[in-house]
A and B are shown apart, each in its own frame.
Chain A
Amino acid sequence: NAGVTQTPKFQVLKTGQSMTLQCAQDMNHNSMYWYRQDPGMGLRLIYYSASEGTTDKGEVPNGYNVSRLNKREFSLRLESAAPSQTSVYFCASSEAHGGVNTEAFFGQGTRLTVV
Chain B
Amino acid sequence: DAGVIQSPRHEVTEMGQEVTLRCKPISGHNSLFWYRQTMMRGLELLIYFNNNVPIDDSGMPEDRFSAKMPNASFSTLKIQPSEPRDSAVYFCASRPREQEYNEQFFGPGTRLTVL
Query: Do A and B interact with each other, yes or no?
Result: no
